[in-house]
Structure 1
Amino acid sequence: LRCFLATFYHNCLPKSTEVVCLASTVVTFTSIVQILGFLGKNGWHVAIYVLWWICAGLSILAIMGIPYVFTQINPPSIAGVLPNAQLPLEEALTAAATCGSLCTNGYWSCEIRVPVILVSYLLLGIAILLAFILDALFLGRLYNQTKDKRAKESKSQALNFAYQIMVLAGPWGKGSARLTCLGKAVLDGTFSPYNSGTMLTSEVAFAVGYSSIFASIFFWGTAIFCCMLCDIPLGILVEDVYSIKVGN
Structure 2
Amino acid sequence: MVSVQYGHFAGLAAYVLWWVNAAMAVVSLLGIPYVQLKLQPPGIQHVPPAVLLPYIAALTSGAAGGVVCQYGNISARLQVPVIIVSYLEVGAGIAATISVYSIVFSKHYNRSIPTQDLVYQDMILCGPFGQGSFALQALGGVVMKSFGQYNRGVFLTAAAGTTIGYGVYTNAAVQLGKIMDSPAFKVWSTALLLMLLVLWFMNQIFTVKGIITGKLLGLDHGWRWRYLPESVSAGEESKDA
The TM-score normalised by the length of structure 2 is: 0.63
Percent identical: 36
Say how many residue pairs are matched: 170
Tell me what 1:117 maps to. 83
SS in 1 for 2:26: helix
CA contact (8 A) 2:3 2:9 kept: no
Which amino acid in structure 2 is aligned with residue 199 of structure 1?
Answer: F
- In the TM superposition, what are the counterparts of 1:63-212 in structure 2 within 5 Å? 63-75=29-41, 77-105=43-71, 107-145=73-111, 158=116, 160-187=117-144, 189-211=145-167
Moved over 6 A (4+): 36-39
Residues in 2 aligned to 1:177 and 1:128: alpha-carbon distance in whole angstroms: 12
Relative to structure 1, is the Cα distance of residues 106 and 48 closer, same or farther in structure 2, using a 3 angstrom cutoff?
closer
| C-alpha RMSD of the superposition | 2.6
Residues in 1 aligned to 2:37 and 2:22: alpha-carbon distance in whole angstroms: 23
Unaligned runs of 5+ in 2: 177-241
SS in 2 for 1:43: helix
The TM-score normalised by the length of structure 1 is: 0.62
What is the deviation of 1:77? Answer: 3.0
Residues in 2 aligned to 1:103 and 1:80: alpha-carbon distance in whole angstroms: 39
CA contact (8 A) 1:83 1:164 kept: yes
Residues in 1 aligned to 2:104 and 2:5: alpha-carbon distance in whole angstroms: 40
Higher-RCO chain (CA-CA 8 Å, sequence separation at least 6): 1
CA contact (8 A) 1:69 1:75 kept: no
Relative to structure 1, is the Cα distance of residues 56 and 132 closer, same or farther in structure 2, using a 3 angstrom cutoff?
same
SS in 2 for 1:193: helix
Residues in 2 aligned to 1:100 and 1:62: alpha-carbon distance in whole angstroms: 20
What is the deviation of 1:161? Answer: 3.2
Residues in 2 aligned to 1:174 and 1:60: alpha-carbon distance in whole angstroms: 16
Residues in 2 aligned to 1:75 and 1:110: alpha-carbon distance in whole angstroms: 47
Point out the structure with max Rg over C-alpha.
2
SS in 1 for 2:150: coil
Unaligned runs of 5+ in 1: 1-35, 151-156, 221-248
